Structure 1
């Protein structure tokens, strides 16, 4: 699947969980994160699970009303049927796993758009970027570098400040930060609303992302 592997998915989970302060563990070969700030339960991640693996993970997901089960896949239609068989509801199918080669990316901090101020906060092998309009938060994002991979997360622009180049600025500033730690490849999971921006910036779509929840 275009270079996607279990190790690559686990790297993304590690960076994503690090950015959000989530505890992680494994269920067999699949990573999981404890969403203490949302569901107060576990979210499981899998890349193209087999029929038996899907059944086992679905069983784990059904152990708690707040548990989530996320699959990176090229078989969206097939998994709708599997979810119905194993007592899961499809929560979302509009996210996409994306990748970006970091070679050739600008290592210099970009200049924020006129009238905006920006700050970069470094922490370990990553950090966050925040953009403000006066005292008003306008945009933000986080990146964590794990084993040469830059995991981007929490990229957001406030509604009143969209279509002003802030998303592009945040991504470029995060990339400059990631390159301080010799990142070679960028990883992110994008909602449908972010695809146009990320493709413009050179990101490539690798697979769909489906999220399931227990049907109680």
Structure 2
């Protein structure tokens, strides 16, 4: 479904991605793990058109994304759930969800999807009229995921969904991401919590200083001594 081939990305003179190549098959949950500054978030920004690449190619279902304006990439079926949640604080929960679906015109299906995300996160249904900025960090993360789902994407990009959250909320967030995958959506997950990410993924890549250092199944990476030392506390 998604392929990155020798992608290079710069922030001015900073070479953030260096010949990054990876694939995500339809229906897979693929994790990107690595330290801060490894290029994980930059990879997602390159895919969703938030930052142009210098060279290489990114293709989604055979279409070259570098030729698609960033604001139209969502129409292809890609949704980006950003780091830091970035909800619209002055707008209500319901209004945030509506903005997630701003390109859609299928009102009946929109209503179904709204009801579905409320089953994933019942707390949001109870607070649908509440200003998003007054929600807790965990609740805002739930809203950010629900808002991304409202575009009815086929590929979801999650950037650090567990960042700064309490352990019980982290467990709930990962359970929902796994459920989203089990319902047939494809997921590319950027996550510093390598242990949690590996336990719900089909495959994973380890990024280091903008390069793919390792890749494999969760079982292979969990057994890798280098990965255990660097990312799993052992």
Give yes or no for TM over 0.5: no
| TM-score of the superposed pair, with normalisation by structure 2 | 0.33
More helix by share: 2
More strand by share: 1
